[in-house]
Structure 1
Amino acid sequence: MGMFSGMMFCADCGSIMYQCRATNFRRDQEYYLCSGYRKSRDVCGQTHSIRTVILEELVLQNLREIVSFASQRKDDFVKMVMDADMRQRNRGLAKRQKTLADAEKRIAELDTIFKRLYEDTISGKLSDERFQKLSADYEKEQHELQELAAVLRGEIEAEERKSANVERFLSVVERYTEIPELTPCILHEFVEKIVVHAASDPKGKNRTQEIDIYYKGIGALEVSKVTSSRQE
């Protein structure tokens, strides 16, 4: 297995990218390809591929820059990570909170409806058969809402507890002040995942391709979005 296996993803369809190699390939011919594109053009309409040697060069170069920045300008690095984390968190948190509030409101309404149905059944205004049908429908809706609310509460609590794990990242940086080469150990110490965008002008002379590198605990920063602009 290549050292990037399991951590490469297509930017468009989200499918995992796998390494393509053959016995007659030179090392510089090995590449990663989107599994969604390989499966069906309906899953992914554009080819997302990148040669392994170019990927290694991009990740190594960016990792060196990140480590240098984090070790030499610690305060600036922490501020940058925290600001980026706050922007990402605020985008999803408000939406989840509103969805949870709507779900909880409807759950309370259903409790009131159950009570009225029961009272109507006792008083004879509603037949047992009608009560069973209505209550089954409402119970199903309430159960689904309760499950949704539980998931949303967990996600909101996780977001509210979440703070960029800068200290952990900086502690790793201290162990790797110099990175002469990219090894599987170093890669997995620092990188969570890599997202590959489709190349522009893939067969032409002006081929460019964006790569987003997500670092563990701090995500993808502006400085971790790199571009390959060489002809493959």
Structure 2
Amino acid sequence: DCVQYVCNNYGTNGTEGCSAHTIEARDLFDAVLADIRHYARLAVEGDEKRVRQLQQQLSSIGATEQKALEREKRKLSKRLGELDKLFSALYEDKVMERITKRNFDMVSRKYETEQAQLSARIEEIDASLAEKKTSDNGVTDFFSLIAGYADAAELSAAMVNALIEKITVGERVQKEDGTVEQTIKIYYKFVGVLSNELHIKVTKRYAAPLSPRRCQCCGAEFTPGSAVAKYCKPCAKKIQIRQSTESTRRRRAAARKAA
């Protein structure tokens, strides 16, 4: 409580890098925990219908379209085999001088073009079918993993590391009724985004003044502005500038190395 997350890019580069889009830690924790428990309950209850819906949601193709793609692939593969035979016969006609070089070149270009188109389409189908298989397996693995967190009372580091790839945080938006809302997206491991966006009503939590502490840089006593503050304001500014300079130096060095 009384702790906020702020965009690191904003903290390093200011408004030139990004906006702050600050979010209250407790608001974020509560929303993530509620989402994890929701899907954990689905896993525990064995809701096969919902699991299939998620598989279809995460895959670009459904079961009916999958069968259609498999039929199309068989048809295209058969045509490729026919073209191989036609090429063989065409080459034999050329060797036996039953066809002119001009006609041979014209027909062979036509066959080659068709072969390239068929091969490209087969690759597209294979990619779609592989994506669906990966998606189906991912959902199964995800539900097996998340089932153990149905009764979780608090969000832990172990839980986050096991289940979540990343979380993106949107800007704060003030609504007509005066409330402030913020959206987040949770990217789970194996499956990615399961809910389009989670909407959080921002709650401002005020804390009692914190006790003075020693700056970890210069040793001077200062009154921290947050529970995680380590440096007095002058030192914090110097460190921020140094980190920004170092970040710029690394980017330039990487660019020179790539060039």
For the aligned pair, the TM-score class normalised by the smaller chain equals 0.5 to 0.7
CA RMSD of aligned residues (A): 4.7
Equivalent position amino acid for 1:170 in 2: A
Equivalent position amino acid for 1:65 in 2: A
| Alignment CA distance shift 1:121-1:23 (3 Å) | closer
Which runs of 5 or more structure 2 residues have no equivalent in the other structure? 205-259
**Does 2:199 align with 1:227?**
yes
- Between the aligned residues of both structures, percent identity stands at 19
| Alignment CA distance shift 1:72-1:131 (3 Å) | closer
SS at match of 2:61: helix
Residue in structure 1 matched with residue 10 of structure 2 by the alignment = 21
Cα distance in 1, alignment partners of residues 169 and 107 from structure 2: 50
1:89 maps to which of 27, 52, 59: 59
2:91 maps to which of 113, 118, 123: 118
**Does 2:114 align with 1:145?**
no
Q: How far did residue 167 of structure 1 move?
A: 0.9
Residue in structure 2 matched with residue 53 of structure 1 by the alignment = 23
Cα distance in 2, alignment partners of residues 198 and 105 from structure 1: 54
Residue in structure 2 matched with residue 179 of structure 1 by the alignment = 154
1:55-204 superposed matches below 5 A: 59-70=28-39, 74-75=44-45, 80-89=50-59, 91=61, 94=65, 97=69, 100=73, 103-104=76-77, 106-132=79-105, 134-136=107-109, 138-139=111-112, 141-143=114-116, 145-146=118-119, 148-150=121-123, 152-153=125-126, 155-157=128-130, 159-160=132-133, 162-163=136-137, 164=139, 165=141, 166-171=143-148, 173=149, 177-180=152-155, 183=157, 186-194=159-167
Q: How far did residue 52 of structure 1 move?
A: 4.6
Cα distance in 1, alignment partners of residues 93 and 13 from structure 2: 79
Q: How far did residue 147 of structure 1 move?
A: 5.2
Cα distance in 2, alignment partners of residues 211 and 205 from structure 1: 20
SS at match of 1:117: helix
Deviations 1:24-83 (A, max 9, x none): 97xxxx9x95xxxxxxxxxxxxxxx672535x5555223311343455561156653343
- Aligned partners of 1:69 and 1:77 also within 8 Å: no
Deviations 1:180-214 (A, max 9, x none): 46x4x543421234466788779x96765543323
- Aligned partners of 1:81 and 1:221 also within 8 Å: no
- Aligned partners of 1:210 and 1:225 also within 8 Å: yes
Structure-2-length-normalised TM-score: 0.49
Cα distance in 2, alignment partners of residues 170 and 157 from structure 1: 26
Cα distance in 2, alignment partners of residues 76 and 129 from structure 1: 67
| Alignment CA distance shift 1:142-1:85 (3 Å) | same
| Alignment CA distance shift 1:103-1:230 (3 Å) | farther
Equivalent position amino acid for 1:169 in 2: I
Deviations 1:105-124 (A, max 9, x none): 55245335424533542453
Residue in structure 2 matched with residue 41 of structure 1 by the alignment = none
